[in-house]
């Protein structure tokens, strides 16, 4: 894969460099196992718990790598992004650790717990309308006014390299791995994981997990080109983005399959994470387990030899306000 340095936005070298760069700042997240979930799935499952990462999600890896890659003159002017979720908080935290400003364009209706994280980490929140055009328009205005640097949530080689560090750690923690199941949205996470994992172990399978209500990646794989959806509808708010021109080539070439899941399957997997693994995950984080438990995975002969499966629990930022309110009302 070294020959693909020009072909893809990242490679194993840039991912290893990213790991050295961000190692002093990130958590090396643990891998959890559960005999109960192994029994239910009929496989050995290894959960890479990025829900325990700083900021509560894997996004801190890429954001940290992007911020640390800036030269001092660029960094001094700050960074800007438009995001409704974990990238927003991750970039705010990465910027705070470097003592530089972070301007975060947040669409109205974004999950409260994720906006609260941005504010907690010192990010300057600028509101936009919920449409992508409004987000981009407001971000462009902030760029013009501040001279700050745009850090895209996923369509950026620095971001992809940072996310790929997950696979470096996972394959060091668990060597005997047949497949890794990864949530897919814009494709930054799965691109990094695929590039790293297939460089280290070419035979490993990389499987994407995607909501049926936001199945642009599955449609794109079938069509052989990027397909964008006019509307998405899923409980997994972190999986509503479309593939970018930097992530699509990796997804096209290195992702072995895309499994699509109904929201009810995602919610059931989320419940299992809480009740059996004792881990708080958001819907986007639980979708990998949903994929492994789905009939489309279980009944596919292509995956029968995949006995040891890594699952990336990508994040744990879920708004539990209604849960605590239900406890109060039950008194």
> What is the C-alpha end-to-end distance of the chain, expressed in Å?
59
Name residue 125's beta-bridge partners.
104
Q: 235: which 2 tokens?
A: 């409980």
Pairing of strands 257-261, 79-82: unpaired
SS3 (DSSP) at 152: coil
Nearest Cα residue to 165 out of 257, 295, 67, 53: 53
Q: 165: which 2 tokens?
A: 């560090």
The contacts of residue 201 (CB under 8 Å, 6+ apart) are: 171, 177
**CA angle, corner 183, sides to 106 and 23, nearest 5?**
75
What letter would DSSP give residue 303?
G
- Please check whether residue 283 is in contact with residue 113, taking contact to mean a CB–CB distance below 8 angstroms: no
How many residues are given for the chain? 331
Crossing angle for the helix pair 188-200 and 12-22, nearest 10 degrees? 110
Annotated catalytic sites, by residue? 59, 84
Name residue 44's beta-bridge partners.
308
For residue 105, with 0-12 CB atoms within 10 Å meaning exposed, 13-18 middle and 19 or more buried, which class applies? buried
How far apart are the C-alpha atoms of 42 and 292, rounded to whole Å? Answer: 10
Q: 317: which 2 tokens?
A: 């930022």
């Amino acid at each position: 894969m070294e020959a693909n340095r020009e072909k893809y936005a990242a490679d194993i070298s840039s991912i290893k460099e990213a790991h050295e760069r961000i190692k002093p700042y990130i958590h090396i997240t643990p891998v959890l196992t559960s005999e109960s979930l192994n029994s239910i799935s009929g496989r050995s499952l290894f959960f890479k718990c990025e829900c325990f990462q700083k900021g509560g999600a894997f996004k801190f890896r890429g954001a940290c790598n992007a911020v640390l890659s800036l030269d001092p003159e660029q960094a001094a002017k700050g960074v800007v992004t438009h995001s409704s979720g974990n990238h927003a908080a991750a970039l705010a935290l990465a910027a705070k650790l470097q003592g530089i400003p972070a301007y975060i364009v947040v669409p109205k209706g974004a999950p409260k717990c994720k906006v609260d994280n941005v504010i907690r980490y010192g990010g300057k929140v600028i509101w936009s309308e919920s449409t992508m055009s409004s987000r981009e328009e407001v971000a462009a205005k902030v760029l013009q006014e501040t001279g700050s640097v745009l850090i895209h949530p996923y369509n950026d080689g620095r971001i992809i390299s940072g996310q790929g560090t997950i696979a470096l750690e996972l394959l060091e923690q668990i060597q005997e791995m047949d497949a890794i199941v990864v949530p897919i949205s814009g494709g930054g996470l799965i691109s990094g994981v695929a590039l790293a994992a297939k460089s280290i172990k070419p035979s490993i399978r990389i499987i994407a997990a995607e909501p049926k209500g936001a199945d642009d990646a599955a449609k794109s794989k079938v069509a052989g080109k990027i397909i964008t959806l006019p509307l998405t509808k899923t409980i997994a708010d972190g999986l509503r983005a479309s593939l970018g021109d930097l992530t699509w080539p990796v997804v096209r070439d290195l992702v072995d399959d895309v499994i699509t899941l109904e929201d009810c399957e995602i919610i059931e997997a989320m419940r299992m994470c809480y009740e059996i693994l004792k881990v708080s995950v958001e819907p986007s984080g639980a979708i990998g387990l949903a994929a492994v438990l789905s009939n489309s995975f279980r009944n596919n002969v292509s995956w029968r030899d995949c006995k040891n499966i890594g699952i990336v629990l990508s994040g744990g930022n879920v708004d539990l306000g209604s849960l605590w309110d239900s406890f109060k009302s039950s008194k």
